[in-house]
Chain A
Amino acid sequence: MDKKTVATIAYLSRLSLNEKNEDKITDDLENIIKFVDQLNAAETDNIEPLASPLEKTAKTRPDKITAENRKEIFLERSPKSNEDYFLVPRVVE
């Protein structure tokens, strides 16, 4: 883990790290990664990964619309909107 890697993952995470914290965060991440490296001790050949404790297929339900359209309240409670859309800085010139 070096500053360059940290800068890359910070960008992937859409976070900016201030310079004051950069060293501390690099050290912390380095230590946490070393800590989780203990996992290498486990013999996991041919072990199927477990993504969730419930290994059941999700139950299906009839394909009916159950939610009401609540556009107005969602737009009203957003940081910036007009009557139809969430507003963000212009993307296409």
Chain B
Amino acid sequence: MSIQFKTIKQLGKMLNNKEISHVELIQETFSLITKNNHLNAFVTLNEQESLKKAEILDKSPSSSTLAGIPIAQKDLFCTKDLRTTCGSNMLSNFIPPYSATVIENLENAGCISVGKTNMDEFAMGSSNETSFYGNVQNPWGLNLVPGGSSGGSAAAVAAGIVPAASGTDTGGSIRQPASLCGITGLKPTYGRISRWGMIAFASSLDQAGPMTRTAEDCALLLNEMCSHDEKDTTSLDEKIPDFTKNINSSIEGLKIGLVKEFDLSKLDTDVVKVFEESKKHYESLGAKFVEISLPNISLSVPTYYVVAPAECSSNLSRFDGVKFGKRCENPKDLEELYIQTRSEGFGDEVKRRILIGSYVLSAGFYDAYYKKAQQVRRLIKNDFDSAFKNVDVIMSPTTRGAAFEAGSKGDDPIQMYLEDLFTIPANLAGLPAMSIPNGMIEKKPIGLQLIGNFLDESTLLRAAHNYQITTDWHLKTPEVMS
């Protein structure tokens, strides 16, 4: 029986019923990876180690929830003794001596990390075109981008190679590729999942999360990914609920907010049509729509493009060629070592963001840009706080359209930045948000975004699961190699 396009739940059942052995499951997974090599979804594979773990599970069965489930890990998480590149030449030789907390949590729950997925360099991009390891191909069509930055993770799940992948989301890097690849992705509340061992891009925005085929699988993974971690000072010490518990409860009476300021008339009519159909569907499930106002929401993208580069320029100063990663050849002195290493190691988009960050943080400009952006960030958060007094979730399209062709955004970075228009606000406010497939445009999938209140992933998952058990958009699959 083929394992392709199966969910975590289905694979778990197959393993329990002995329809497939652990070793067979892992062998099949690597066979799918090889057949879909052209997608360029993986940077590094972990075949020997994965097979070893599967053999152990076949010999002595484990009761762990996710025992033997193959998972692809975004190449931004440190994985002990397994190369971690972050999509960059800078880390092309980096083998971490430790694993990120979230990787440990998933592996302790029984997941088998089969490989590291391709991504935009240091997670800076929305199309996976900034990776040093080449573009990722969206399984839904030739030359289509998978979105970014978690593009390899999204493509691997969309092609049915693995039932699940980890991602990270700083401004939409889980939700936007989930939308463009037709899968389900969730960015939890800031602080839910430890950032320890996650290579930092913008520390006050970065958050890891699950990418899967269904909301139910997202809940299963989230249960394991979350933990309070003393090693991360921003890790939340809050009760972690069983996210699968109320997923089947009805959404009768659920209040869904529609943002007045999101001007959908500027989007393609197809995108609006898909969105309107989802609204009708939610209405048929008993949800109520409420118009809400987020007066400062239009300033989200400019706020993000001050805050994120500022934090990035600071975080990426650690890449100096001294302690780990790449070092240039034969530097004449220490300063040349720094400059040459960084100039050779970083790609154009990363350099652009470091420069912007250095500029907005430099003496004389700090108040005008960085402080101002942080003040606007508070206004945006206050807007959400007020809105959530009246609604349970906020709904919008995830993206402005379906997957676009590689190179089609030209070389104007702002056009690419606007790709994250709908997703950035949740990062600024630290709120949980997810994307679920809700339609097709010219045979390409597109997603619906649900934003939840602080710590309320459960309501998001319930709303998403109710939608998925009554629709089949998440069951659509692309024609890929099997």
Contacts and interface: CB of A to CB of B under 8 A. Distances in A.
A36 B305 contact: yes
Contact of A15 (B326, B327, B346, B372): B346
A69 to B, nearest CB: 12
Most buried by B among A13, A15, A58, A78: A13
B362 A9 contact: yes
A41 B358 CA distance: 23
Contact of A54 (B230, B234, B332, B374): B234
Counting from the closest, the 7 A-B pairs by CB-CB distance are A53-B430, A49-B374, A79-B327, A50-B378, A44-B375, A58-B233, A47-B375
B359 A29 contact: yes
Given A50-B374, A52-B204, A88 B322 contact: yes
A36 B374 contact: no
Contacts of B268: none
B377 interface: yes
Contact of A9 (B97, B301, B359): B359
B375 A42 contact: yes
Interface residues of B, number: 72
B480 interface: no
A32 B414 contact: yes
Interface in A35-56: 35-42, 44, 47-54
A74 B95 CA distance: 10
Given A9-B355, A44-B376, A79-B327, 19 more contacts: A14-B342, A29-B359, A35-B414, A36-B306, A36-B369, A39-B299, A42-B379, A44-B372, A44-B379, A47-B378, A49-B377, A53-B191, A54-B430, A59-B230, A77-B324, A78-B324, A79-B321, A88-B322, A89-B334
B325 A15 contact: no
5 contacts: A24-B411, A41-B299, A53-B431, A54-B236, A77-B324
Interface in B264-318: 296, 299, 301-303, 305-306, 313, 317
Given A47-B378, A89-B337, A36 B373 contact: yes
Interface in A51-93: 51-54, 58-59, 61, 70, 73-74, 77-80, 86, 88-89, 91
Interface majority SS (helix, strand, loop, mixed), chain B: helix
Contact of B326 (A32, A79, A89): A79
Contacts of A52: 190, 204, 234, 430
Interface string B165-203: 000000000000000000000000011000000000000
A15 B375 contact: no
A38 B302 contact: yes
A86 B324 CA distance: 10
How big is the A interface, by class? 35 or more
A88 B334 contact: yes
B407 interface: no
A53 B413 contact: no
B340 interface: yes
Contacts of B334: 88-89, 91
A44 B306 CA distance: 16
Contact of B332 (A35, A73, A89): A89
B204 A32 contact: no
Given A39-B303, A49-B371, A15 B359 contact: no
A54 B375 CA distance: 15
A54 B381 CA distance: 11
B230 A61 contact: yes
Interface string B32-58: 000000000000000000000000000
A63 B336 CA distance: 39
B429 interface: yes
Given A9-B362, A39-B303, A53 B355 contact: no
B3 interface: no
A59 to B, nearest CB: 6
B166 to A, nearest CB: 21
A58 B333 contact: no
A6 B355 contact: yes
A12 B362 contact: yes
Nearest to A24: B411
Contact of A29 (B306, B352, B411): B352
A83 B375 CA distance: 48
